[in-house]
Amino acid sequence: MTLLGHEPCSLQNLPAEVRVSFESETRPLVCHEKVLYLLDQRCLPRTVQYLACTTIEEVATAIREMVVRGAPAIGIVAAFGFAQGVSALAHQGIAYDEAMIDRLDQRLRQTRPTAVNLMWALDRMTGLAKRLFQEKTLSPEAQVERLFAEAQTIETEDVASCRAMGMLGASLLKAGARLQTHCNAGAIATGGYGTALGVVRAAFAEGKCSRVYVDETRPRFQGASLTAWELHREGIPVTLISDNMAGALHQAAQVDAIFVGADRITANGDTANKIGTYALAVLAKAHGIPFYVVAPRSTYDTTLTSGALIPIEERDAREVTHVGEQAIAPEGVSVWNPGFDVTPADLITAHINETGVLYPPYTQAIAAAFASTQL
């Protein structure tokens, strides 16, 4: 459970300010004095421990090894990692140029291919870094400070987005609604509060959520180990199911609405999200259950016309054949392990982003949302 030789540390061993931040609210990361402290999500729900990243290499590894995951959180962490990369150059007295900026960008961009927030955050950071480099009005140290501030702004904006989406999502619900979610689109998948779980939190606060059914989300169990952990610790009534029970749950009329996050949404509304989302959307449609995608505008990739163009990460067979060290399948068996799937827009009741609720036809609604002055 160590990362690049780093020892994990407990809450008690964190710097006081960092500890208070993690204690006050469920969150995946805190950046303090240029050190990025990450909740090690691989160890939940058994162990709550943290890793400190001080270099871009450590941040890249943390993303790839899923110490941190969730599209918005990956973008934020990458932004801090990029700032750390520039800081290291400045610290060594290296006058960085555009090619060096691009190399730092590439190091992080290649960690995970599906979530577009990663690309969005890096575009924003590299754009700023190049502008600062060209302007040459700030000292290298001041440029680094400016980049860390920008990463912090991305984090702050993301939390504000989540709270806005939570209110919008909750407004669609009636009192006592029974909700369902897949994977973890929670506080720890974002800057804080969560996208789909932001709706759950807002709805619960308003008396509009009597229970949340959580798909365990094989193969990595993010629903069981992260979502159930987040909600259970906050006292929101949660019932865990295996993914394949969703059909029977819908058949038994136990779900009023489904909220999921997204890793990338294309111009027509097609949505890449954790594997199993598509099957859940098909089941929802068959049972007349509203199916909502909750994601900030940083998750939209309007350069792609449809979901068929989204690259889907194929992950290691061992995620399916083993649980921890325990083999659950015969050695050498073939495995198919796509990390994500694409839900076509026609299975999605509405898209919720921080500026509003979008309804079909999505091509027009998304184009209008991105043409608005709020962008």
Footprint of a copy of itself on this chain (CB under 8 A)? 45-46, 213, 215-219, 221, 224-225, 228-229, 232-233, 237-249, 251, 275-276, 278-280, 282-283, 285-286, 320-321, 323-324, 326-338, 341-342
Spatial separation of the C-alpha atoms in residues 334 and 298, rounded to whole Å: 36
| Of 92 and 326, CB closest to a copy of itself | 326
CA gap 255, 99 in Å, rounded: 52
CB closer to a copy of itself out of 333 and 375: 333
- Residue position matching structure tokens 């209008």: 368
* Spatial separation of the C-alpha atoms in residues 261 and 270, rounded to whole Å: 13
* Cα–Cα distance, 332 to 165 (Å, whole number): 45
Residue whose CB is less far from a copy of itself, 337 or 363: 337
CB of 333 to a copy of itself, least distance (A): 5
SS3 category, 247:
helix
39 Cα distance to chain centroid = 14
Cβ proximity to a copy of itself, 151 vs 347, nearer residue:
347
Instruction: Determine the Cα angle at 136 with ends 133 and 142, to 5°.
Output: 85
Residue 266 CB, nearest approach to a copy of itself (Å) = 16
Q: Is 263 a catalytic residue?
A: yes
- Of 158, 263, 270, 301, the active-site residue reads 263
CB closer to a copy of itself, 79 vs 280: 280
Q: At its nearest, how many Å lie between a copy of itself and the CB of residue 352? A: 22
15 HSE (CA, 13 A, CB side): 13
DSSP 221: T
Q: Is 279 left (phi over 0), alpha (psi -120 to 50) or beta?
A: alpha
β strands within 47-196, DSSP E: 50-53, 178-181
CB of 214 to a copy of itself, least distance (A): 9
- The 10 Å Cβ neighbour count of residue 361 is 12
Q: CB of residue 241 vs a copy of itself: minimum separation in angstroms?
A: 5
Catalytic residues, which ones?
Answer: 263
